Amino acid sequence: MAHIIGGVGTTHVPSIGGAIAKGKQTDEYWRPFFDMFPPVRGWLGRSKPDIAVVIYNDHGLNFFLDKMPTFAVGAAAEYRNADEGWGLPVVRSFAGDPEFSWHLIESLVADEFDIVSCQEMLVDHAFVVPMQLLYPDVDPTGAGAGWPVRVVPISVNTVQHPIPSAARCYKFGKAIGRAIRSYQQDANVLIMGTGGLSHQLEGKRAGFINKDFDRLCLDRLVDDPAALTGYSSEELVELAGSQGVELLNWLVMRGALGEHVSPVSRSYHVPISNTASAVLALAAA
């Protein structure tokens, strides 16, 4: 039987990928951010996940404003990274697990979620940067050992309104958790939720960060995630910024973990590229 070891929520700002590519992890500006991750890596080293289910939002590699699925699940044997125009180097591809992916897809459809099944899928910085943060020893160029986990990308629409509600995303996460636990083959599964926290990149509120709301969200993700489902999409934009709605990815992750979790590591840092950055690692009960 598949076993969910826990979840990680983390920021996916593209400038982090640039800092990694340029070796700036110990620079004065970047060090406080990168110093948040060794405890999480230590936990992963002990827990040894086989599969990472990555909840993120696509930024145009697969879907654009004319075609934006609410939920899309990868079912490929391989996921390639591609040039997004940020100047980030393209990293080595990620191995998928089609049998596991199709089990998730079939279970989610049976659970009455209308998802898009992607037998080909590119992955952008929202997927790649968190993988680089958790597995920094992988040579992104393709030399040496590859990524130590198989992956399943799950894209959530946080871009084109109407976006799914917080309540719907939490229910989606619960359905993902049920699907994983019903998989008959042995596998340790990590759930990742990427993005945010509060930030806004455009308009009169460009640079907006809400520390109080971010800290409230981090608290509730641990002890009362259902409390976050009461916010409407409009309220999330007001409280977290137009891009801060990426919190929905974290909420999907938390829903998959089940009722009770144990905090492993929690860090919060402001700002990284005008974004409130955080990492939260939770062990599933």
* pLDDT (0 to 100) of residue 285: 85
| Cβ(195)–Cβ(247) below 8 Å | yes
Active site residue 161: no
| Cβ(260)–Cβ(29) below 8 Å | no
* Distance in angstroms (rounded) separating the CA atoms of residues 227 and 238: 17
Among the options 3, 59, 125, 269, which is catalytic? 125
Nearest to 256 by CA among 107, 114, 120: 107
pLDDT tier, 35 (very low <50, low <70, confident <90, very high otherwise): very high
* Distance in angstroms (rounded) separating the CA atoms of residues 31 and 17: 14
How do beta strands 78-81 and 122-123 pair? Answer: parallel
* pLDDT (0 to 100) of residue 204: 87
Contacts (Cβ under 8 Å, ≥6 apart) of 232: 165, 166
- Which residue has better confidence, 145 or 58? 58
pLDDT per position as a tens digit, 253-266: 999 999 999 999 99
pLDDT per position as a tens digit, 77-132: 999 999 888 788 999 999 999 999 999 999 999 999 999 999 999 999 999 999 99
Domain boundaries in the chain?
Answer: 2-284
* Distance in angstroms (rounded) separating the CA atoms of residues 258 and 284: 7
Q: In whole angstroms, what separates CA 128 from the centre of its chain? A: 10
Q: Is-cis flag, bond preceding 236, omega within 30?
A: no
CB atoms within 10 A of CB 79: 21
Percentage of residues in the chain having pLDDT higher than 70: 100
Active site residue 125: yes
pLDDT tier, 140 (very low <50, low <70, confident <90, very high otherwise): confident
- Which residue has better confidence, 45 or 204? 45
Residue 75 burial (10 A CB sphere; 0-12, 13-18, 19+) = buried
CATH 3.40.50.150 fits 2-284, yes or no: no
Residues 22-50: what's their mean pLDDT? 97
* pLDDT (0 to 100) of residue 14: 92
User: For residue 169, is pLDDT > 90?
Assistant: yes
* pLDDT (0 to 100) of residue 158: 95
Helix, strand, coil percentages for the chain (3-state, nearest 5) = 35, 25, 40
Among the options 103, 199, 260, 269, which is catalytic? 199
* Distance in angstroms (rounded) separating the CA atoms of residues 134 and 283: 15
